[in-house]
Copies of this chain bind each other. A is one copy, B any other.
């Protein structure tokens, strides 16, 4: 297998983009990534998208996007793993380059969620859960994560204020991200006094509904200097891990433990020859504040039950010992589900290149991205290393 580099990244301002279509936003991010890489060819495409069908009445996204990007004909693969679709598309693109099948691969993620009403968007998202045992009984994702949060608070004595600290940190980070949907700062008081969505989760514990896209360009390490002429520091993919858990929450031994994250991270760390303490900057899947807390434990950053206190104590802040979600995370940057996993890579590549201005983690050389589907039913973890 060949070593693989990320040589270009592209994003766009996320939000409620009513004046742009699904294909528009994908093409905008993809062209930004191609421009950043400076390549004049793409051999193959991967597209992460959770539900073009339910959100936009549009499947067959490989064919569509290759066509509208003006790059077709070429192999174009759409990959889906609910909210981990983007991370999984990145893994599949890495695999295609690593295998030697293609050299220059464009990986994009996209979701346009505001073309439907709120009820329809909630329904579309609920199809990431177990339809028979969860969805049909009326529970949606805020409810599922509320059960995780309630169990966590019960087992470990965590408080709503500790959960809120995750939102406060991520909005502070996002206030320095020009792409963020909600770049405003919030306080613990604002979070715990915001509308209750599913007890104990307030609306400011929840990530938003977002339109957005992100894209990256991959190539073999051996081709980097030819393709980029040394224009930017090189970022190498050194670890990739992917695992599943039971899709339904009730089937797990411990509601508070993200087992797929633990396993995907173990695989990525093993491939990279690294350990949790080596990682200097991390993007995780904070679809709800409790998710970031549980995930930082499953990644091995904090002991079981200590993630909430770690967030409240500032350990995951920029400037803290283990910065998490400098981009603002899903919470502030927004969460167009299929794009999220690719946007995490965009942020980490910029961090490793030192291009993040006021949210830069000084001297970051080792980075980790964790992207999660459903209530943890699937997870993809990648480790990136800068020069």
* Chain A positions near chain B (C-beta within 8 angstroms): 1, 21, 23, 50-54, 56-64, 66-67, 72-82, 88, 92, 95-96, 98-101, 123-124, 126-132, 135, 242-248, 251, 259-260, 263, 373-374, 377-378
Contact = CB atoms under 8 A, between A and B. Distances in A.
Nearest to A45: B244
Contact of A101 (B72, B95, B127, B374): B95
A203 to B, nearest CB: 24
A244 B73 CA distance: 5
Query: 6 closest Cβ contacts across the A-B interface?
Result: A99-B99, A63-B377, A60-B82, A75-B242, A53-B53, A59-B127
A80 B128 CA distance: 16
A75 B243 contact: yes
Contacts of A52: 127
Given A81-B63, A96-B95, A99-B95, A73 B127 contact: no
B247 A60 contact: yes
Given A1-B99, A259-B73, A244 B81 contact: no
A187 B202 CA distance: 65
A300 B319 CA distance: 63
B54 A80 contact: no
A366 to B, nearest CB: 22
Given A52-B127, A101-B95, A245 B81 contact: no
B76 A77 contact: no
B81 A79 contact: no
Nearest to A337: B59
Nearest to A123: B57
Contacts of A135: 57-58
Given A95-B96, A99-B95, A130 B244 contact: no
A246 B378 contact: no
Contact of A67 (B50, B95, B246, B373): B246
Given A78-B79, A259-B73, A59 B63 contact: no
A67 B247 CA distance: 7
Nearest to A97: B99
Given A60-B82, A60-B127, A95-B101, A73 B245 contact: yes
B54 A53 contact: yes
13 contacts: A23-B132, A51-B59, A57-B123, A59-B127, A62-B80, A62-B81, A62-B373, A63-B244, A67-B377, A72-B244, A72-B245, A74-B243, A98-B101
Given A1-B99, A63-B82, A95-B96, 20 more contacts: A50-B59, A54-B54, A57-B131, A57-B135, A60-B82, A60-B373, A62-B81, A63-B244, A63-B247, A64-B377, A67-B247, A72-B244, A72-B246, A73-B244, A77-B81, A78-B81, A79-B80, A99-B99, A99-B100, A99-B101
